[in-house]
Amino acid sequence: TFRDFIILRELGRGLCGTVYLAKYRFTDQLVAFKVMRKQKLIDVGEIRHAVREREVHATINQGPFIDKLLHAYQDKWALYLVLEYAPCGDLFQAMNYHGLPTLQDAKMYTTQCALALDYIHRCGYVYRDLKPENILLDVNGSVRLADFGMAKKLDDGERAFTICGTAQYMSPEVLTHRGCRFEADIWALGVLIYELCSGGTPFGADKDSRQELYRRLMHHRNESMTFPPWFDADTCSIVKSFLHEDETQRLGYGGAFSLIFDHPWF
């Protein structure tokens, strides 16, 4: 229960809840303690996402490079998730503080994210929220993918039509209401590699209007994509392999996600 934990400080705050650094009273284990107020969830229409996060964790909790759910419970005021604590923060914070990772580290982060996504996909879920802010780092610098409120279970042939996630990481099929499958995560992986290697996303920055970002995405053509001059040939190739406007042409399409590791960039 709530009384089993000592709240130490706030780690982050979102639309639906607050995450605290907490200590388990009986073992001194540090955890990330996520509190989601029920009334707030009702007010912003996010009850479904909060419940989904718990359900997704129940399925994928044993996967590689995934932030583990330790406990979940509720009372009449709130839902509570007790998660592993990642002492080194997230990849977004690390890039702001330390600058761009080396190419070797960028490959390590991408590989670990890809292994996590491969497991999530094999469990039947599309993640839909890959971005540096959701990539936590443990004490060894290894990835822990977090925040599964946007994940959706897909049946054979089913597509997810809700427009959700971070605009800079959304795939064209999401923006055009065609619905997405697992290939939307492959697209996001390409955006992540580009950001890790350049410091920005390929279709716009936070300061750009959403309309301008959408316009660039809608006019994106894989064959005419350009890159910063310091990108080597393999980096350009892997990004283009993932950022194809036609999802059927993306490397790893159709359940062949493990094929991405055959690319020479890895």
Q: Note whether 71 and 125 are same-domain residues.
A: no
* Of 84, 116, 150, the domain-final residue: 84
At residue 2 the predicted structure's pLDDT band, cuts being 50, 70 and 90, is confident
In terms of domains, do 142 and 42 share one?
A: no
**How many Cβ atoms are within 10 Å of 114's Cβ, its own excluded?**
23
> Smallest Cα–Cα separation from 5: which of 70, 76, 57?
70
Domain of residue 24, CATH code: 3.30.200.20
Whether 93 and 152 have beta carbons less than 8 Å apart is answered as no
> What number of other Cβ atoms are within 10 A of residue 239's Cβ?
23
Contact present, 27 and 45 (Cβ < 8 Å): no
* pTM across the whole model: 0.93
Contact criterion met (CB below 8 Å) for 241 and 256: no
Of 67, 90, 118, 129, which residue is the catalytic one? 129
210 in the same domain as 132: yes
Position 137 scores a pLDDT of: 97
Domain extent for 37: 2-84
pLDDT at residue 107, as a whole number: 98
Task: Using pLDDT thresholds of 50, 70 and 90, give the confidence band for residue 199.
Answer: very high
Whether 206 has a pLDDT exceeding 70, the answer reads: no
The whole-number average pLDDT for the span 141-158 is: 93
CA distance 100 to 92: 10
- Rounded to the nearest 10 degrees, the angle between the axes of helix 233-242 and helix 183-198 is 150
Residue 129 annotated as catalytic? yes
Q: Which of 18, 51, 84 is the last residue of a domain?
A: 84
Residue 217 CA to its chain's centroid (Å):
19
The total of structural domains in the chain comes to 2
In this predicted model, what pLDDT tens digit does every residue of 95-140 receive, in sequence order? 999 999 999 999 999 999 999 999 999 999 999 999 999 999 999 9
For residues 32 and 155, membership in a common domain is answered with: no
